[in-house]
Amino acid sequence: GAGVSQTPSNKVTEKGKYVELRCDPISGHTALYWYRQSLGQGPEFLIYFQGTGAADDSGLPNDRFFAVRPEGSVSTLKIQRTERGDSAVYLCASSPQGLNPNNEQFFGPGTRLTVL
């Protein structure tokens, strides 16, 4: 079946611009996660949705970052006034039930964001 998909696969933008990154989770998965990964490092947690609501947004670095999941499936990560330090691979993952530690997270291929 279809896995987690993310679009675009690559995004190049200029400093100060606004970007949106999209994640399509596996159908039926209620939990959705966003991570970002800088070169040579492990993924860094950003935000976790259970259904439509953000259950944990403690990883968002500042108020330029915002994410939504209005209908409980597709999610959009929004970054305002991008900075060069935002350049990274943004990963999305989904799992059947976020509160069940026995559920594995299924990761998408990521969106590579480059801020010039």
Nearest-approach distance from CB 116 to another protein, in angstroms: 21
**Residue with the two structure tokens 């939504």:** 68
User: Residues near 13 by Cβ (< 8 Å), separated by ≥ 6?
Assistant: 19, 82, 113, 114, 115, 116
Nearest-approach distance from CB 28 to another protein, in angstroms: 17
Stretch 33-62 residues interacting with another protein (CB under 8 A): 33, 35, 40-45, 48, 56, 58-59
Rounded-to-integer distance, Cα 1 and Cα 22, Å? 19
Q: Tell me if 31 contacts another protein by CB under 8 A.
A: yes
Helix, strand or coil for residue 85? helix
Say how many residues touch another protein, by CB under 8 A.
29
29 secondary structure, DSSP code: -
Q: Which of 19, 77, 93, 113 binds another protein (CB under 8 A)?
A: 93
Q: Tell me if 27 contacts another protein by CB under 8 A.
A: no
Q: Tell me if 20 contacts another protein by CB under 8 A.
A: no
